[in-house]
Amino acid sequence: MQFSLRKFGILAGLTAVTAVFASAQAPEKFKSQEISESDGIPVLVKHLPDWESHKDSTVFASKPGQLEAAIGQRPIFGQIDFTAGTEVVSAVYPAGRLVIVEYTSPQASSEADTLFSGSVDSSTAYRRIGNYNAFVLDATDPAAANALLDQVKYEKNIQWLGNNPFRISPERAFAITTADIFMSTLIVILIGIGLTIVGGIAAGFVFFAARERHRRSLPTFSDAGGMIRLNLDGLTPDMTTDRLLSD
C-alpha cells in the first residue's frame, strides 16, 4: 500500500511537471507589445470598431506571413514592414474587410502612407489615422467604407523625434506670433488707460470732498480785513458800537 501511494505521488508529480512544461512551450494566442491586463487581448484589437461583435473574424499579425496565411495574398500586404514592431489587426464588416496597420513611430507611418497612397486600387478605401494606416478591402460602397474608417480612432499622443512635417510654416508662425503680441500690447494699453481714467475720477471726487469739508469748517471770510465795507453779500457780521470812538 505504501509503495502504491509513493508510485501515485511520483506519477502525479511527473504529470504536473509535464503540464507546466507544455504550457510554457505552447505558443501564445497573441504576441503584442501592448496587451490588455484584464483579458490579455492586444490593445490594437480593441481599437477595431465594435470589436466584441467581430471576434470571430478578427485576425492579429505581428510577423510577416501571418496576415497572408489568415486572409490570403494581397499586393498591399507585401508593402507592410514588420521589422520595427509593426502590428496589424483585421476584421470583416458589411462595408468590407477592415485592416489597421499600427507603426511604432509617426515617421514610419508617414513613410508607409506615401507608399500606400500610390498603390491602393479602386476597390480599397485607405486613410492614415495617427500612427494607423487603415484599409477597407473589397469595398463596394465608398461611402460605407469611409464611414467605417471614420469609426477608427487613434487614442495615443504622437511625438515627433525631429521636426513635425505638419506644423505651420515659419512665415505663418511669425505672422501669428506678431499678431498675438500686438493684440496683447493693445489690450494692456487700453486697460492702463481705463484704469488711469477711473483712478483720476475717483481721486478728483475725494479731493473735492476733502476741500469742501475743510471750507465748511473755516470761519466767515471778509476781504476787508475788518474794515467798514458794504455788506452786500450779507456775509459780514454787524460791527458792535462798543469798540467805536466816542464823541
pLDDT of residue 188: 95
Distance of alpha carbon 144 from alpha carbon 140, whole angstroms: 8
Assess if residue 195 is contained within a domain. Answer: yes
One domain for residues 105 and 146: yes
> Residue 100: which of 128, 72, 69 has the closest Cα?
128
Asked if residue 42 and residue 137 are part of one domain, the reply reads: yes
The full 3-state SS of 74-122, as one line of letters, equals CHHHHHCCCCCCCEEEEEEECCEEEEEEECCCHHHHHHHHHHHHCCCCC
Give φ, ψ of 10 to 5 degrees. -65, -40
Question: Do 177 and 207 belong to one domain?
Answer: yes
Distance between CA atoms of 63 and 80, rounded to whole angstroms?
10
Residue 180 lies in a domain: yes
In a domain, 47, yes or no: yes
User: Which among 99, 119, 150 is the end of a domain?
Assistant: 150
Q: Is residue 245 part of a domain?
A: no
pLDDT in tens, the chain (247 residues): 444 445 445 444 444 434 433 333 333 444 556 676 677 788 888 889 888 888 888 888 888 788 888 888 888 888 888 887 889 999 999 999 999 998 888 888 888 898 888 888 888 899 999 888 999 988 889 999 999 999 988 876 656 666 666 666 677 778 888 999 999 999 999 999 999 999 999 999 999 998 888 877 766 555 555 555 566 666 656 666 666 666 5
HSE, CB side, 13 Å, CA atoms: give it for residue 149. 22
pLDDT for position 211: 86
Domain annotation covers residue 242: no
Q: Both 75 and 104 in a single domain? A: yes
What range defines the domain where residue 208 resides? 168-217
Strands 125-129, 132-137: pairing is antiparallel
Q: Does 137 lie in the same domain as 76?
A: yes
In a domain, 232, yes or no: no
Do 46 and 136 reside in the same domain of the chain? yes
In the chain, DSSP assigns E strands to 59-61, 87-93, 96-102, 125-129, 132-137
- Can you give the pLDDT at residue 8? 42
| 123 assigned to some structural domain | yes
**136 and 190 part of one domain:** no
Considering the domain architecture, whether residues 140 and 191 belong to the same structural domain is answered as no
The pTM of the full predicted model, rounded to 2 decimals, is 0.51
Please indicate, yes or no, whether residues 40 and 87 belong to a single structural domain of this protein. Answer: yes
Q: Please tell me the predicted confidence (pLDDT) of residue 167.
A: 67
Q: CB neighbours of 150 closer than 8 A, spacing ≥ 6?
A: none
Do 136 and 42 belong to one domain? yes
**Residues 143 and 37 placed together within one structural domain of the fold:** yes
Nearest C-alpha neighbor of 60 from the set 91, 94, 35, 105: 91
Query: Would the CA dihedral through 7, 13, 15, 21 be positive or negative?
Result: negative
Amino acid code (one letter) for 131: N
Same domain, 90 and 146: yes
Number of independent structural domains in the chain? 2
Q: Domain for residue 237, yes or no?
A: no
